[in-house]
Structure 1
Amino acid sequence: MTTADRLGTRKPYACAWCGREIVDSGSGRRRRYCKQACRQRAYESRSSGDTSVPDDAVVLSSHQATDLRDRLFALRCGVEDLDTALREGAEHDELTAMSRDLLSMAREAERLR
């Protein structure tokens, strides 16, 4: 048991089914799933036995995959803008604002759902 666990300040971790962030209260055993629906889907997947999807796979709907692709595209465009600004000798304040925006976009892109 880590010090963080003993103090009740566990770090967020991902749902074993959907990848959504889970933050436990700090007492008891860590949950594997963020909600009952994810737990049920995982059970159904394990019970069917005839799936070619790996146990550790994260399943995204087409809408969620499109949303993730859009967030990654926005991140790439932001990096290209920052690169252009650096080559053109942009002011420090402008570069700082752009890097903060990029950091925000990167954090959003990490989110699976």
Structure 2
Amino acid sequence: MELAGPSHHPGANPDAAADAAVAPFGAPGTEADPAAADPTASRRPRREEARHCAWCGRPLPDQGRVGRPRRYCAQPCRQRAYERRAAVQRGGLPEDAVVLSAAELADLQDRLFQLRCAAEDVASAAAEGADPAELGELATGLADTARGLERLR
């Protein structure tokens, strides 16, 4: 049996079709309202980039849509982050403080120096009129050095 006219589902509002026809463009619940098209749109992260572990910087696997997004790749990273937060609270440092050992600081300074040298190599090769293949090779080396510097831990 086929019913003509408005939807006859239990709980359906027979006047809804008429209301939608006169609702202003972009009104909540209309086709032009982005939230009506996708109710989870406001909860999705704005960036579609890969997420990284808050402790070690490794890429996190795509978790899907359910639940809170992961911050750490594994339990040891989560534990190290907890220990750091607890140490910061005991030491009276601000929560966003970065604490480095002398060896970590020396390593960071070395990697920054390598990055500067790679950038200077690209600049001097460009100034000397190097061929595009050589410039491409130097630029690739610069990008590799910068990628290595991104990983602070």
Question: Normalized against structure 2, the TM-score is what?
Answer: 0.56
Shift of 1:97: 0.5
| Superposition deviation, residue 30 in structure 1 | 3.5
Greater helix share, structure number: 1
Are 2:96 and 1:61 aligned? no
Alpha-carbon distance in 1 for matches of 2:87, 2:102: 21
Structure 2: state its 5+ residue gaps.
1-42
Runs of 4 or more, structure 1, over 4 Å off, are none
Mapping of residues 21-32 of structure 1, within 5 Å? 21=57, 23=60, 26=63, 28-32=67-71
Q: Which has the larger radius of gyration?
A: 2
What is residue 56 of structure 2 aligned with on the other side?
20
1:49-88 aligned at under 5 Å gives the runs 51=92, 53-88=93-128
2:2 maps to 1:2: no
Could you say what secondary structure the match of 2:145 adopts?
helix
Instruction: Report the alpha carbon displacement of residue 98 of structure 1 after superposing the two structures with TM.
Output: 0.4
User: Which AA in structure 2 matches 1:40?
Assistant: E
Percent identity, aligned pairs only, is 38
Q: Which residue of 2 is the match for residue 36 of structure 1? A: 79
Higher relative contact order (CA 8 A, sep 6+): 1
Query: Which letter maps to 1:59?
Result: V
Residue correspondences, number: 104
CA RMSD of aligned residues (A): 2.7
Check the 8 A contact 1:74/1:105 in 2, yes or no. yes
- How far off its partner does 1:99 sit? 0.4
Decide whether the 8 Å contact of 2:52 with 2:71 is kept in 1. Answer: no
- The residue type paired with residue 28 of structure 1 is G
Unaligned 5+ runs, structure 1: none
Distance in 1 of aligned mates of 2:56 and 2:87 = 19
Residues 28 and 43 of structure 1, relative CA distance in 2, 3 Å threshold:
farther
Deviation at 1:77, TM superposition (A): 0.6
Does the CA-based 8 Å contact 1:14-1:21 persist in structure 2? yes
Q: Distance in 2 between matches of 1:70 and 1:3?
A: 35
Question: Match of 1:97, SS?
Answer: helix
